Amino acid sequence: MNKTEPPGDKMVGQELLPIYDEVARCNKCGFCLSTCPVYTITGEERAAARGHNIHLQDLIEGRLEMSEELKAPLFECLLCRACVANCMSGVRTPENVIKGRSVYMQQLGEPRLLRFVARRLLPNPKRMDLCVRLAALGKKSRLDRAARALGVLKWFGRDRDKVVDLVERLPLRFFRERTNELGPDPDMANRQVAYFVGCATNYALPQVGVSTVRTLRAAGCNVKILDNLCCGLPVASYGDEKGAKELVLRNLDMMSRLDVDAIVTDCGSCSAFLKEYPLMFADDPGYADTAARTGAKIKALSEYLVEIGLPEFERRVEARVTYHDPCHMGRYQNLVDEPREIIRSIPGIEYRELPEADWCCGAAGTYNIAHYGQSMEILDRKMNNVKKTEADIIVTTCPACSIQLAYGVTRHGLDCEVLDLADLVDRALKPPFY
């Protein structure tokens, strides 16, 4: 399957010591079990926060050695933070898990694919564009189907043949190549905003980028489209601290030189991670200030719109709409009310609250690729809840969730569409005249 690099230093216990107190705070009450989307489908202790903390504690105390046996336990976690929200002691298990992943990689080596993506692709936009375009062409020419039929995809692991269907098609033109569609800044703009373009938006859902810029402009902002790199979240989630930091530094350098009121992004995952940038430099006297100042400017689209005032809605959207809380929006940034407020203020919409709205959809970044089967079971729970609302449109504020939910719609044969909040708002704005 994945080829790995040679292992590094063996002092596992030591490496994990910084999180010892945090993992020990888990007093094993077990309340996390019923809130963990993975535990509720596997019923296996290792999936839940309690199991993670025990594993980490055992590693630290030398009762367990880092080995391939820890792969499933450490990498099965969605990092959705449902456990944190329900933990009576507030143990920050996902952070513990990421630390565990980091040490895992250090001990047992990083999968080559991950290393390639982290070190060679993400920091190099041109190369990244090329790879994605090849994949897009592959999808368009149905090469993926051929590959599946030939069984080639199976070389990359179980379920990989199903995984290619997650995205119906990859657009051939990325968002950054469609900026000419965007037109000029508004005449009477009173704010300066930088638009941080997330990778998923750029490559998979460019329309969302277009809607985001239009929305911001309609709300009275001058929008500068940033030449940013990947925010670094996927790399950080896997525990590649070094790889993440590289991307983070380059982004921070670029963003710290901006003279803007806010740095806005439509991607819930990006905004969550960007807001954590300052934490990475909290102990760095030289950079802490800069990072903090820049970090304070990061805003999720819905957050910013509610702050500065919504644009004028000139068209009605007659639809039953429900909203799925991306984990990175609700649990990481506590942005639960803002998207709902925006949806409800669009004329014509009948809003229906989604049961278990904050239950993870199972995308979790690349979780649906790495753990297809489980991801689908988690998705099914979400889709069953969606069915209960009888909604025409499912709205969300993260492209990974959008892709996953769209897949869920197909999978369950539902008659509804999945829209990013930006796209929904765009439908209510004055139609573009250019």
Partner 1 sequence: MRKPNLIRKIESIVGRGNVLYNRANLLAYEYDASLHRGLPDAVAFATTTEQVSQVVKLANRERVPFLPRGSGTNLSGGTVPTRGGIIIALSRMNRILEIDLQNQRAVAEPGVFNLALQDALAPLGYFYAPDPASQKVSTIGGNVGENSGGPLCLKYGVTTNHVLGLEVVLPDGTVVQTGGKALDYPGYDLTGIIVGSEGTTGIVTKVTVRIMRSPEAVKTFLAIYDSVEDAGRTVSDIIAEGIIPATLEMMDKLVIKAVEESVHAGYPLDSEAVLIIELDGLRDGMDRLERQVGEICKRNRVRNIEVAASGEQRDKLWAGRKGAFGAVGRLYPSYMVNDGTVPRTQLPRVLKRVSEIGERYNLPIGNVFHAGDGNLHPLILFDERDKDQLEVVRKASYEILQACVDAGGTISGEHGIGLEKLQAMGLLFGPKDIGAMWKVKRAFDPTNLCNPGKVLPEMETGGAL
User: Could you tell me the two tokens for 264?
Assistant: 């806005």
* CA separation for the pair 106, 110 (Å, rounded): 7
Q: In this complex, which beta carbon is closest to partner 1, that of residue 71 or of residue 154?
A: 71
* CA separation for the pair 4, 380 (Å, rounded): 33
User: Smallest distance, Å, CB 333 to partner 1?
Assistant: 19
* CA separation for the pair 253, 246 (Å, rounded): 11
Q: Kindly list the residues in this chain that would bind partner 1 in the complex (CB under 8 A).
A: 21, 24-35, 39, 43-46, 51, 54-55, 58, 61, 63-64, 67, 69-70, 73, 86-91
Q: In this complex, which beta carbon is closest to partner 1, that of residue 100 or of residue 206?
A: 100
User: Smallest distance, Å, CB 310 to partner 1?
Assistant: 28
Q: In this complex, which beta carbon is closest to partner 1, that of residue 103 or of residue 298?
A: 103
User: Smallest distance, Å, CB 367 to partner 1?
Assistant: 19
**CB-based contacts of 100: which residues, under 8 Å, 6+ apart?**
16, 52, 55, 56, 59, 70, 74, 239
User: Smallest distance, Å, CB 274 to partner 1?
Assistant: 28
Q: Any bridge partners for residue 194, and if so which? A: 224, 263
| Total number of residues shown for the chain | 434
User: Smallest distance, Å, CB 14 to partner 1?
Assistant: 16
Helix (H, G, I), strand (E, B) or coil at 363: coil
Q: In this complex, which beta carbon is closest to partner 1, that of residue 27 or of residue 190?
A: 27
Q: In this complex, which beta carbon is closest to partner 1, that of residue 72 or of residue 130?
A: 72
Residue from 326, 410, 403, 406 nearest 366 by CA: 403
Q: In this complex, which beta carbon is closest to partner 1, that of residue 50 or of residue 139?
A: 50
* CA separation for the pair 21, 24 (Å, rounded): 5
Q: Any bridge partners for residue 320, and if so which? A: 350
User: Smallest distance, Å, CB 382 to partner 1?
Assistant: 17
Output the furthest CA–CA distance in the chain (Å, rounded): 67
User: Could you tell me the two tokens for 275?
Assistant: 């807001």
